[in-house]
Amino acid sequence: MRNRIRRHKTFLKSSLLYFLTILLGTMVLPKAKAQVKPVDAEGHEWWQHAVFYEIYPRSFADSNNDGVGDLNGIASKLDYLKKLGVDAIWITPCYPSPQVDFGYDVSDYENIDPMYGTLADFERLASEAHKRNIRIIMDFVMNHTSDQHPWFKESRSSRDNPKRDWYIWRDGKGPGQPPNNWESTFGGSAWQFDPTTGQYYYHYFYKQQPDLNWRNPDVEKAMFDVTRWWYQRGVAGFRLDAVDTLFEDPDLHNNPILPGKNQYGDPNMANVYNTKLPELHGVLQRLRKVADEYDAVLIGETWTKNIAELKQYYGEDNNELQMPMDFLFTKVDKLSPDEFRKQIAGVNAAGWPVYVLSNHDIVRAYVRYGDGVHNDAIAKVMAGLYLTLRGTPIMYYGEEIGMTNNDPKRRQDVKDPIGKLGWPKDKGRDGERTPMQWNTSENAGFSETKPWLPVPASYKTHNVETELKNPDSILNFYKRVLALRHDDAALRDGDYVALNKNDHNVLSYLRRYKDEAVLVALNMSSSAQQVSFDLRAQGIKADMASTLLTTMKTNQEKAALRSITLEPFSVYIGKIEE
Ligand code: NOJ
C-alpha cells in the first residue's frame, strides 16, 4: 500500500514536473521569437530598414591576384560599401565546391573554399563588417548538394547505406529509361543513372547537383544545423536558393508536356509535380523558427507566377520567409508606368515587398531597361524607382556604376555550362557576372591578372573611381538616393500611395508617414512631361514641394505641385510642404 502511495506521489510529482516543463516551454518559445527586435514604432525589423547588396565573390575584388575574387577582396571594399549606403551584403556561395555551378554545388557547408580564403578570413570579414554595422547574409543551397559532398558519396555507395535516403533514388522504367519524364532546368533528363547501384538519382539542376530528400527528417536536421553553425559565427540570415524545388511528388507522376521546345531542345513542360509542392511551407516554417532564435532574416529565391503564389511564401501568419524576392518586378521588362503600378500594388498587398532589378542569373538592368542612347539616365530612373519604394531593395554589385552585360562572343569562351549547351540561343550567365569595375587600370582594378571573365569596354567610363569624381554619375545618384532613404522617415517607413494612375509616361507616388509625405515622380519616357498633382484626395492641402533630389538639369529648390515639367528620363523627389 505504502509503495502504491509512494508511486502515486512520484507519479504526481513527475506529472507536475511534466506540466511545468510544458508551461515553461510555451513561455520560453515565444521568448525566442521575442529576440526579434523592432527598430521603430511601426514594429519594423532591421531588415526592413536595410539596403542589401549582392556580391558574387568570384567577381568582386581579387586580393591575391589569381583572377578570381575572394573574401579578403570583399573585406578591402567594406568602406566603399558603407559610404555607398549598404547595410547588408549577401555573398553568393563561397563554400568548398567543385564549381560546376560556380559554388551552387556545395561539397562542405561549414567551410570556405580555398579559392575564396579560409574560415579565419571569413571571421575577419565578419568582424570588419560588424564594426561598420554591415550584416552578412550567406547563401543556403538547400535543394541539392554537390555530387562530391560526402553525404552523396555515401548515398551512392550502396542501396543500404544509411545516407541512401538522403537523396532521391528510383528504379528506371526499363533499360535506359528514366523513372519519369521530368527535365532538368539546365537541360536533358532530371534523372541520372548510377551504375554502382543500378538506380537513377534526381537532379533538378546539373547532374553534379543531386537533390536532397527533404522528406527525410535527418536531412532537415543536418541542414538546419548548418544554419545554426553560421548564425553562431555572426551571420545575420540566409538567401535560400531554389526553394521552389525542395519537394517532388513521391509517386513521380509525369509532368504535362507543353507545345514547343526550350532553349536546350527539350520539350516545354509544366513542372507541376516537381516544383512548389505544399510540403515546402512546413520546412520554411520550421527553418524560420530557427532563424527567429537569432534575429535572422530569410530571403527567398522565389520564382512565382503571380502575386498569389508570392504571398504564400510569407506564410499565413508571416511565419515563413520575411523576404521572398519579387521576381515579377524583374519581369516588367520595359519602362511602363502602368505595368510597374500594377506590380507594385500587387506586392504591397501581399506583404513586405522585396525588390531586385537583376542578379547573377538575370541580364543586368542597365541593358534590360536601357534604350542604347539614354542608358545612364534610365539607370537613375530605375534606381529612383526601386530605392524609394516601400520595401527592401537588394542591389546587385556593379549596378550602382551602370555595369553592362558582357556576353561571350564565341561558344568556346563560355564558362557557364548552360551557355555552352544553349548556345547561341542561351549564352549563359557569364555576361552578368563579370568583374566589378573599380578604376581605369587594366582589368578594371579588379585584379592584376587576367580575370576569370573579361571586363567590358565600358569600364573606362563606368567605374567607381571615375564616377566618384563626377557629381552627375550614376554612382553619385545612388549614393544620394540611399542617403535620403536612410534619413527620411517617409521614404523608410511610409505607406505607398499611387498618384496619377492614368499617366502612361510618368510613374508617381507618395510615401506617407504620419504627417510627412514625399513625392516621387519618374519620367519613364524620352520626351519632357508636364505633370500636375492634386493631393486633396489624400487630405493634403499643400501645393508646393521642396526638392530633395532630382536628376533634372533645371534643378529648382521648390516645385509647384500643379505644374512640374519633368525632363526626359528624369527623377524628381520632393518633400511635401504642409
Ligand atoms: C539559383 C542560383 O541563383 C543559380 O545561380 C543556380 O545555378 C541555381 N539556383 C542552382 O543552385
Q: Does residue 110 have an active-site annotation?
A: no
Contacts made by residues 213-222, CB under 8 angstroms, sequence distance 24+: 213/165, 213/166, 213/167, 213/168, 214/246, 214/247, 214/279, 214/280, 214/283, 215/247, 215/250, 215/279, 216/165, 216/166, 218/166, 219/166, 220/283, 220/286, 222/151
Q: Does residue 248 have an active-site annotation?
A: no
Q: What type of residue sits at position 53?
A: Y
At 478, the pLDDT band (50, 70, 90 cuts) reads: very high
Closest residue by Cα to atom 5, ligand 1, is 361
Tracing cell 534526381 back to the chain, one arrives at 202
The pLDDT value recorded for residue 5 is 33
**What's the predicted TM-score (pTM) here?**
0.94
Question: How many CB atoms are closer than 10 A to CB 349?
Answer: 10
Identify the active-site residue in 293, 309, 361, 465: 293
CA distance 322 to 295: 11
The pLDDT value recorded for residue 522 is 98
Distance 357 CA to ligand 1 centre (A): 17
The pLDDT value recorded for residue 213 is 98
- The three-state (H, E, C) secondary structure of 246-289, written as one string: CCCCCCCCCCCEEEEECCCCCEEECCCCCCCCCHHHHHHHHHHH
Distance of CA 267 to the CA centre of its chain: 29
Write the pLDDT tens digit of every residue in 291-320: 999 999 999 999 999 999 999 999 999 999
Whether 516 and 490 have beta carbons less than 8 Å apart is answered as: yes
In ligand 1, the atom with minimum distance to the C-alpha of 101 is 7
The pLDDT value recorded for residue 41 is 83
For residue 33, pLDDT beyond 60: no
Q: Quick one: cell of 339?
A: 505595368
Nearest to 454 by CA among 402, 403, 394: 403
At 39, the pLDDT band (50, 70, 90 cuts) reads: confident
Alpha helix locations (H) across 167-319? 217-231, 279-293, 307-314
Q: Quick one: cell of 380?
A: 537613375
Question: Which of 241, 243, 246, 363 most suits a substitution to test ligand 1, by most atoms within 8 Å of the C-beta?
Answer: 241
Identify the active-site residue in 121, 241, 326, 467: 241
Distance 159 CA to ligand 1 centre (A): 29
The strand pairing partners of 239, in sequence order, are: 139, 299
Distance of CA 389 to the CA centre of its chain: 17
Q: List residues near ligand 1 (CB under 6 A).
A: 101, 104, 141, 205, 241-242, 301, 360-361
Question: Which of 275, 303, 361 most suits a substitution to test ligand 1, by most atoms within 8 Å of the C-beta?
Answer: 361
Alpha helix locations (H) across 35-70? 46-49
Distance of CA 102 to the CA centre of its chain: 17
Virtual torsion, Cα 344, 349, 355, 359, nearest 10 deg: -100
At 35, the pLDDT band (50, 70, 90 cuts) reads: low
Q: What type of residue sits at position 250?
A: P
Computed over every residue of the chain, the mean pLDDT equals 94
Question: Which of 105, 145, 205 most suits a substitution to test ligand 1, by most atoms within 8 Å of the C-beta?
Answer: 205
Q: Quick one: cell of 511?
A: 510615401
Distance 54 CA to ligand 1 centre (A): 14
Write the pLDDT tens digit of every residue in 390-427: 999 999 999 999 999 999 999 999 999 999 999 999 99
φ, ψ (nearest 5 deg) of residue 558:
-130, 160
Write the pLDDT tens digit of every residue in 427-468: 999 999 999 999 999 999 999 999 999 999 999 999 999 999
What is the torsional sign of CA 257, 260, 261, 263?
negative
Nearest to 97 by CA among 67, 127, 58: 58
The pLDDT value recorded for residue 15 is 40
CA distance 302 to 325: 6
The pLDDT value recorded for residue 358 is 97
CA distance 2 to 4: 5
CA distance 103 to 141: 9
Distance 215 CA to ligand 1 centre (A): 22
List CB contacts of 64: < 8 A, sequence separation 6 or more.
70, 72
The pLDDT value recorded for residue 11 is 35
The pLDDT value recorded for residue 410 is 98
* SS3 of residue 292 by DSSP: helix
For residue 361, pLDDT beyond 70: yes
Alpha helix locations (H) across 294-427? 307-314, 328-331, 337-350, 365-369, 375-386, 417-422
The pLDDT value recorded for residue 37 is 79
Write the pLDDT tens digit of every residue in 499-540: 999 999 999 999 999 999 999 999 999 999 999 999 999 999
Write the pLDDT tens digit of every residue in 226-273: 999 999 999 999 999 999 999 999 999 999 999 999 999 999 999 999
The strand pairing partners of 517, in sequence order, are: 512
For residue 481, pLDDT beyond 80: yes
Nearest to 59 by CA among 325, 364, 366: 364
For residue 472, pLDDT beyond 90: yes
Nearest to 287 by CA among 245, 248, 243: 243
Whether 552 and 570 have beta carbons less than 8 Å apart is answered as: yes
Tracing cell 544620394 back to the chain, one arrives at 480
